[in-house]
């Protein structure tokens, strides 16, 4: 496994654990901020890992990564259990959508395929996570706010990670 992949795994786990613990501590109101800062990063790093793992255990590696993020969240704060479980289910569903849409866009430019797949996976995640974490009826301002924040955060992170990976290729 190369340094870029290890870096992306570390980023992914740090971001999901931070998001889960913050939402567990502060509730729905902070979830939009976490969506921008951390979940946009996870959606984008997942696409980079898709590139690294394609044809080499992508499905089981991504499943293990999603499970590890939820398990770490729960181990660090047992009270975060319901948030970690909601995160696990939402990420599993959105990862399925992301993988399929990213694959369909695989011939496109980097920013288009990453952000195109992020829009779809952010929609899935933004519906499932609040429903499971905060219950029904859905808190529509949170759902819409999370969706917008994930897409915007994913765009920012796709540019930053794209630049980092390009610099690595030039070395």
Residue carrying the six token digits 């590139």: 51
What pTM was estimated for this model as a whole?
Answer: 0.88
- Whether the CB-CB separation of 146 and 130 falls below 8 Å is answered with yes
Two structure tokens written together for 40 = 């946009």
Domain ranges of the chain: 3-170
pLDDT one-digit tens code per residue, 18-37:
999 999 999 998 999 999 99
pLDDT one-digit tens code per residue, 40-87:
999 888 888 888 887 788 889 999 999 999 999 999 999 999 999 999
| Residue partners of 169: CB distance under 8 A and separation at least 6 | none
pLDDT one-digit tens code per residue, 74-119:
999 999 999 999 999 999 999 999 988 988 998 998 889 999 999 9
């Amino acid at each position: 496994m190369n340094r870029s992949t290890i870096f992306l795994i570390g980023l992914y786990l740090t971001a999901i654990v931070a998001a889960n613990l913050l939402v567990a501590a502060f509730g729905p109101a902070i979830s939009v901020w976490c969506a921008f800062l951390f979940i946009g990063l996870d959606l984008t790093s997942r696409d980079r890992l898709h590139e690294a793992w394609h044809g080499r255990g992508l499905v089981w590696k991504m499943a293990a990564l999603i499970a590890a993020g939820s398990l770490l969240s729960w181990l660090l704060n047992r009270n975060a259990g319901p948030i970690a479980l909601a995160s696990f289910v939402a990420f599993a569903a959105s990862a399925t959508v992301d993988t399929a849409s990213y694959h369909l866009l695989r011939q496109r430019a980097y920013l288009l395929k990453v952000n195109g797949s992020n829009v779809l996976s952010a929609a899935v995640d933004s519906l499932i996570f609040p429903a499971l974490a905060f219950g029904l009826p859905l808190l529509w301002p949170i759902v819409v706010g999370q969706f917008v924040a994930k897409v915007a955060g994913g765009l920012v992170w796709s540019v930053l990670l794209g630049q980092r990976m390009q610099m690595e290729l030039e070395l």
